[in-house]
A and B are shown apart, each in its own frame.
Chain A
Amino acid sequence: AQTVTQSQPEMSVQEAETVTLSCTYDTSESDYYLFWYKQPPSRQMILVIRQEAYKQQNATENRFSVNFQKAAKSFSLKISDSQLGDAAMYFCAYRSASGSEKLVFGKGTKLTVNP
């Protein structure tokens, strides 16, 4: 079974600075998808960024980018120019490409942004 590990329960960053959230995963599959989700206090999960494992190029969405290291099974999220609205729980998730519809989530990292 696949597992996702987020080793940083909490992180903090100064406004306008850059922060990196770590995620590692374990799988025997070669084709899969990885995601970062943001969960604000409203509890509604919001997709931040998505990466297909067969793509070597790291995904980027505005201030959010990933460092995908397939051999190391690592998938970190970099937030540049941090804003107060970035404060939230961030979850890393894995999804198989072989037909299973379920997402496997890590336990999350709580990000605090200091003004």
Chain B
Amino acid sequence: GAGVSQSPSNKVTEKGKDVELRCDPISGHTALYWYRQSLGQGLEFLIYFQGNSAPDKSGLPSDRFSAERTGGSVSTLTIQRTQQEDSAVYLCASSYGPGADEKLFFGSGTQLSVL
């Protein structure tokens, strides 16, 4: 596609429910990143994929959070038993490869609201 696509754009869920957030990176991009942006805060790193592997998942806040990537393309971030503090914008980014020389392209994010 022309850019990084994230779905859904907005998600409202009830506390305790599971949610899945999807990221479709730019074709050919091997590196994929998930960030979380809470209200009034900067972006917080969650996880980094190179291909289908996640060399750095140090930012996942708890074992309720998991992510996978299949076929070196689409990634899904899953939050189990959602809590109100999980409410945030979840942003995905991709790049051709790892390294600071590679420009990151961000999606428009998923706004998650946990009631």
Contacts and interface: CB of A to CB of B under 8 A. Distances in A.
A30 interface: no
Contacts of A105: 42-44
Contacts of A56: none
Interface of B: 31, 33, 35, 40-45, 48, 55-56, 58-59, 89, 91, 93, 98, 100, 103-104, 106-109, 111
A28 interface: no
A56 to B, nearest CB: 18
Interface residues of A, number: 24
A interface: dominant SS? loop
Query: Lowest 6 A-B CB distances belong to which pairs?
Result: A105-B42, A102-B45, A45-B106, A33-B100, A105-B43, A43-B109
B100 A91 contact: no
B42 A102 contact: no
A34 B23 CA distance: 26
10 contacts: A33-B100, A43-B89, A47-B104, A95-B100, A100-B56, A101-B48, A102-B56, A102-B58, A103-B45, A105-B43
A50 to B, nearest CB: 8
A102 B42 CA distance: 13
Given A102-B45, A103-B43, A107-B40, A44 B100 contact: no
A52 to B, nearest CB: 8
A15 B6 CA distance: 34
Interface in A66-115: 91, 93, 95, 97, 100-108
Contact of A104 (B41, B45, B104, B109): B45
A42 interface: yes
B28 to A, nearest CB: 18
Contacts of A95: 100
Given A45-B91, A101-B55, A102-B48, 7 more contacts: A43-B89, A43-B108, A46-B106, A97-B100, A100-B56, A105-B44, A107-B41
A44 B109 CA distance: 7
A91 B108 contact: no
A4 interface: yes
A98 B83 CA distance: 35
